[in-house]
Amino acid sequence: MMKKENPMENHIDNKDRISDLPDSLLLHILSFLNIKQAIHTCVLSTRWINLWKYLPTLSLVSSQFTSVENFTEFVSQILSLRDNSTELHSLRFRRNIAVEPSLLEMILEYAVSHNVQRLDIGVKCDIQHFPTCLLSCRTLTSLDLHVSHPTVYGTTKLFPSSLNMPLLTRLGL
Amino acid sequence: MAEEVSSQMNSLSISETNPSSSATISLVSGDDIVFKVEPTIAKEMETVQSFIDETDGKITTIPLPNISSHDLPYVIEYCEKSIAGKITKEFEAEFVKKLNNEEVKELFLAANYLNIKKLLDFLSQVIADRIANKSVEYVRRYFGIENDFTPEEEAKLREELAWTFTGVDPDDEDEN
């Protein structure tokens, strides 16, 4: 039997080698998609149905949502459907339009309770102070915290009163 | 092609202190083509390097049955650039321009098999870019995924996803 194939011909049998990969690799690809598209991969096949729920990184960067209610609903759904025992290593939350304080608090508390290491927050929010659990988060290694208060004259920036983060190596305020 | 690669590498300096590092490494593709590379290249490929380390550098011919002679030169090229510190946005843009969808997938699998983190990250981004804003059907075709849902199951799943569309612009049109 001659076994001298043109490597290009191998490509014709387009068998599903991607789905045979371990979860960690598929999640690696998903982590480069925006969250909405990552979620939509659950329709691909049974292999993919729950994958996105194990994503260790979340990027909630949205200018696509026209109303605060929709966005709040979206984020709440993601956090409640996400696998609760999977750590959230990295969370990015950016939003141009003002977010409700309760939403920001919920996201921060979720992140801290899921051992967040890298946190990047950039929002306008009428929050009075940061949740205490954030200020003493022991897993954080990188923190970018940009929270602006909407005021009559524009915005003022909210700074944390104190930080107790033993592992922190990067801070952006 | 293989000889070309090895001659390009001659200019790289080699550490004299470790005797095993002076030997050229032969990478053998799945279709039995030998690519001679300098040990510094092999270092970029964790799988290859740990194989060399395990045998104390005695074995310098490494079979890579999962990687074809079509894909291996791309991997070597990327590793060369990486060692030279020349992975730029421009290089990556040119590199990816040469690759069709199948090649991107094959290289992703190769990068995983060889454990080259930078290449794996880069190709993950490329794959994500290529399936971004595409329909479920397109992504299935792209990956070669067989839909094992019944039509009823799939319809139900899509219905359950309604919340992901609230207040969001509809997806872009399929460009394929």
- Rounded mean pLDDT, B144-153: 94
Whether B14 has a pLDDT exceeding 80, the answer reads: no
Nearest CA in chain B to A18: B143
pLDDT band at B22 (very low <50, low <70, confident <90, very high): low
pLDDT for B21 equals 47
pLDDT for A18 equals 81
**Out of A103-107, B113-117, B162-166, which region has the weakest mean confidence (pLDDT)?**
B162-166
Whether A10 has a pLDDT exceeding 50, the answer reads: no
Q: Which of chain A's residues have a Cβ under 8 Å away from the Cβ of B105?
A: 17-18
C-alpha neighbours within 13 Å on the C-beta side of residue B118: 17
- Rounded mean pLDDT, A51-68: 82
- ipTM exceeds 0.85, yes or no: no
In the three-class reduction of DSSP (H, G, I as helix; E, B as strand; rest coil), residue B169 is classed as coil
Nearest CA in chain B to A76: B163
Question: Which candidate from B109, B146, B161 shows the least CB-CB separation from A39?
Answer: B161
- Rounded mean pLDDT, A114-120: 97
Question: Which candidate from A33, A34, A45 shows the least CB-CB separation from B147?
Answer: A45
- Rounded mean pLDDT, B94-100: 93
Domains of chain B plus CATH, in order, are: 2-9+20-131 (3.30.710.10)
**Out of A61-65, A144-148, B112-116, which region has the weakest mean confidence (pLDDT)?**
A61-65
What does the H/E/C string look like for B88-125?
CHHHHHHHHHCCCHHHHHHHHHHHHHHCCHHHHHHHHH
| Average pLDDT taken over every residue of chain A | 86
Whether B92 has a pLDDT exceeding 70, the answer reads: yes
B129-165 in b/e form (b: 16+ CB < 10 A) is ebbeebbbeebbebbebeeebeeeebeeeeeeeeebe
Kindly report whether the global pTM for this prediction surpasses the value 0.80.
no
| Average pLDDT taken over every residue of chain B | 84
Q: Which of chain B's residues have a Cβ under 8 Å away from the Cβ of A74?
A: 163-164, 166-167
Contact A14 B69 (CB under 8 A): no
Whether B149 has a pLDDT exceeding 90, the answer reads: yes
Higher-pLDDT residue of B172 and B142 is B142
Position A158, amino acid: L
- Rounded mean pLDDT, A130-134: 92
